[in-house]
Amino acid sequence: MAASDGETAAEEYDGGGSASVADGTSGVDSDSRGVYAISVAAELVGTGQQNIRQYERKGLLTPDRTDGGTRRYSESDLATLRRIGVLLDEGLNLAGVKLVLELEAENRGLTKDNKGLADDNRELRADNRGLRKDLKRARGVAR
């Protein structure tokens, strides 16, 4: 299940941060809007429609639905389906795939949190340096 241009589906998946994941969450960017019918999604990722329905039953992804209940798959859903295919090809069963998807989603969240904390830490250190300079200046004037 390789992606186009020689890039593997795993590499393609790793590039996205908004893929629908096992807990049904998805990002809010344009890649998360469901536009593909199940037949198109199945053809694009190279699997059967029944497989996709089973993945949904197992909680591996949650596609958008129209008012009439028709499934609509987004680019993020397609990336998740490709990732599922890679994991199945590597020998995991669906329970294992679900765990991997959940752990990858948690890892993305923790990485994002860590980046935010590192940014906050840099700002606090800069503020602290400024306060120390002000304190030194104030102590120098008081003498």
User: pLDDT tens-digit profile of 24-77?
Assistant: 444 445 588 889 999 999 999 999 999 999 999 999 999 999 999 999 999 999
pLDDT for position 7: 43
Chain segment 83-114, per-residue pLDDT in tens: 999 999 999 999 999 999 999 999 999 999 99
Nearest to residue 25, comparing CAs of 102, 140, 111, 121?
102
Between residues 77 and 18, the one the model is more confident about: 77
Q: Are strands 64-65 and 71-72 parallel, antiparallel or unpaired?
A: antiparallel
Instruction: At 67, give phi and psi (nearest 5°).
Output: -60, -30
**Tokens coding 123:** 């700002």
Q: Is the pTM of this model over 0.75?
A: no
The burial of 82, by beta-carbon neighbours within 10 Å (0-12 exposed, 13-18 middle, 19 or more buried), is given as buried
Dist CA 112 CA 99 (whole Å): 20
**Tokens coding 16:** 């996205």
